[in-house]
Structure 1
């Protein structure tokens, strides 16, 4: 199985990085694709979520592994990333929501794909633009923009026009994935149990597109 390093990253908080990373890991595992997750965020939300679930249900086998990725030591981080590049399968990295840690460049440079969750409000669009500019000076990774928690039934004409303009601009620097609609089932994720049917329906179009972009060969 070929190796792929996939980041879930953006400097704007609240866009669903950790949630989509966890859901995508489960989605890959259920398709029989080897997947391993690394939590590089200081908040360790993904790693702690797994620990809580295992504490409640210690006998359930985890469908995919998740470990912490310490970014404080640049040399050790570079060595770890080198080892992750040899893992047979997809390595997902849930990245911190900032650009202040210079050691993150080791992660960015190693990435094959960066999935960038976002919404279309002005603050998130501006923050995403800042992130893109900084990221592209470091990495050649393919950029996949994941509009997340999108309310498709509301929006003034001007908001819809700006949404269209943003989508067109992002399409010039990467691939805009199918939108994931605002839904409680998407916010509620697990790292231990299979995706619910409605969760799968909510994300499958987006996640299938990511898999296509990864161009994985057995």
Structure 2
């Protein structure tokens, strides 16, 4: 399974969700995981290198990469069909190098927030990726959601996004999300994230 994490809008938490998914699938589900870090900030790779310096045992490998080098990785990934390949995408759409990445994927996880600019960027990102890869499974995660979001806004956004893919239950804005590393998560987060990740990956786990 190749799963992308992306949105044209930066700051929606895709890199954190990539790491959380890697931790959950490898530690809780014992699924072989590889993360490919294509984000310009390389924050996942930095977390991984920091963990190695501290001599922590990594539950999976993180490979820093770029859109230009993906075609070289693609044949290797194709041989790992039983593994979970998680790709943290760069936050942009204006690069033809994204096309082979989009075409290779089985699923894309798209975090978003309930506000106008993020919603518009999310729809644009989804329209483009579905045009390149019509068979891709799109999953939207309402992320870092505060308790004061108006129900009317949530209802309207969910109605529009549900035309493109599935929407999970929301992840709240919790300080513990800042304590995630590439080798562990605070135990307090498992009850929060487990229902969301079961929604996303349950069918894939059954098929692997």
TM-score normalized with structure 1 length: 0.89
Residue of structure 1 equivalent to 2:44: 46
Residue of structure 2 equivalent to 1:86: 79
Q: Map 1:60-209; keep pairs closer than 5 Å.
A: 60-72=56-68, 76-87=69-80, 88-139=82-133, 140-151=135-146, 153-155=147-149, 159-193=150-184, 195-209=185-199
Shift of 1:215: 5.2
Distance in 2 separating the partners of 1:187 and 1:168: 30
Verify: 1:18 aligned to 2:11, yes or no.
no
Distance in 2 separating the partners of 1:215 and 1:188: 26
Unmatched segments (≥5 aa) in structure 2 = none
Unmatched segments (≥5 aa) in structure 1 = none
SS of aligned partner of 1:129? helix
Count of paired positions: 205
SS of aligned partner of 1:172? coil
Shift of 1:147: 0.5
Distance in 2 separating the partners of 1:214 and 1:178: 18
Q: Map 1:23-34; keep pairs closer than 5 Å.
A: 23-30=20-27, 31-34=29-32
Distance in 2 separating the partners of 1:122 and 1:50: 34
Q: Deviations over 1:40-92 (max 9, x none)?
A: 1122111111112222x12x2111111012212xxx52231232122131100
Distance in 1 separating the partners of 2:159 and 2:87: 27
More deviation, 7-16/165-174: 165-174
**In the alignment, is the contact (CA less than 8 A) between 2:180 and 2:186 conserved in 1?**
no
TM-score normalized with structure 2 length: 0.93
